[in-house]
Homo-oligomer: A and B are copies of this chain.
């Protein structure tokens, strides 16, 4: 198992050009020498590559994962390479909470947080500062924890680089790849309905269209809808948009976008997939309640049959389609390389120049955005 985890981490790390360059510099400069970083993040090969870079920068790292997504072989590999990683895929919520408590109980200097799970445990702790991966974690810092946090927290997800590289192109590419990988179906001529024309939705619409699909977009915000029109897409109201669609993808950030009411207007056999972060965009519990039968057709594909024989197909149970089915990979290595480089440089900034930062949640410093953008441009143009 460890060998597998180590090999998978190696493949990822060897293809992370930005993080690789940062690792080289960190090895020389040791920005985290003598410091302990507490980490809460999905534990899989791409995050493991990040943890290794922090380790090479002199940090003591202690990390745990999110509920149900920890990859056990990666945990083994991390521990064998001297990075403390705790938790297992099968941990129940209580065991998971214990893991978080164990990390929070350490003498931490820095925190790399996800959903504010660590900060919420010890908001008043005296640490230098931290990073927060998600927007929902940032909201929690601004709402529930407002006034409690006495140190700077750099919010990674708000960086414009992430919107472009990870949300638009990373998700657009991986959703269409996943559709092909899971279903083995053909894209040219495929009538495809995309809900949402935010960063993710426009990436999905764009990649689908370029692969030959005939795309219709649903977007309630009129300015985003106009962008979709100018980009050459048909834009319709939901009931019209799903009429004739054979693939329906949600990427709205909203709940219950596709429920039993709309599904009744969808032709039998159509395929539903969710690309949004939360698995509530397609209202699977409501569909399940309405369905007379639910069966698995293939790895990652279920058939839901309703009264009268009407049926649709659901990919990966309504969870993020690019994380399920056979041999899932998620976003591309380079997309995550950028996001984790934002993490690495933001943690370095906190460790070495915290005095320049304000207290509480804040954006990635602009010079970090700019220098990483320039590094990625150079990496893609090199050769």
Footprint of B on A, CB under 8 Å? 7-8, 10-12, 14-15, 160-161, 164-165, 168-170, 173-174, 177, 180-181, 183-191, 207, 209-214, 222-223, 225-227, 229-232, 234-236, 243-246, 267, 297-298, 301, 326-327, 329-330, 332-335, 369-371, 373-374, 376-377, 380-383
Q: Can you pick out 26 interface pairs between chain A and chain B where the beta carbons lie within 8 Å of each other?
A: A7-B297, A15-B184, A160-B223, A164-B223, A165-B226, A169-B188, A173-B186, A180-B329, A184-B330, A185-B333, A186-B334, A187-B332, A189-B232, A189-B381, A211-B211, A212-B232, A213-B232, A222-B371, A222-B377, A226-B376, A234-B381, A235-B381, A243-B383, A244-B382, A244-B383, A267-B383
Are B212's CB and A211's CB within 8 A? no
Are A185's CB and B383's CB within 8 A? no
Are B326's CB and A164's CB within 8 A? no
Q: How far is the CB of A305 from chain B (nearest CB, A)?
A: 13
Are B374's CB and A225's CB within 8 A? yes
Q: How far is the CB of A245 from chain B (nearest CB, A)?
A: 7
Q: How far is the CB of A366 from chain B (nearest CB, A)?
A: 9
Are B181's CB and A211's CB within 8 A? no
- A344-B10 Cα distance, complex, nearest whole Å: 48
Are A232's CB and B214's CB within 8 A? yes
Please pick, from B169, B185, B267, B333, the residue contacting A15 in the complex, using a CB distance under 8 A.
Answer: B185
Q: How far is the CB of A178 from chain B (nearest CB, A)?
A: 9
Please pick, from B189, B210, B230, B326, the residue contacting A168 in the complex, using a CB distance under 8 A.
Answer: B230
Are A186's CB and B226's CB within 8 A? no
Q: How far is the CB of A247 from chain B (nearest CB, A)?
A: 10
Please pick, from B212, B229, B230, B329, the residue contacting A184 in the complex, using a CB distance under 8 A.
Answer: B329
- A301-B14 Cα distance, complex, nearest whole Å: 13
- A214-B233 Cα distance, complex, nearest whole Å: 7
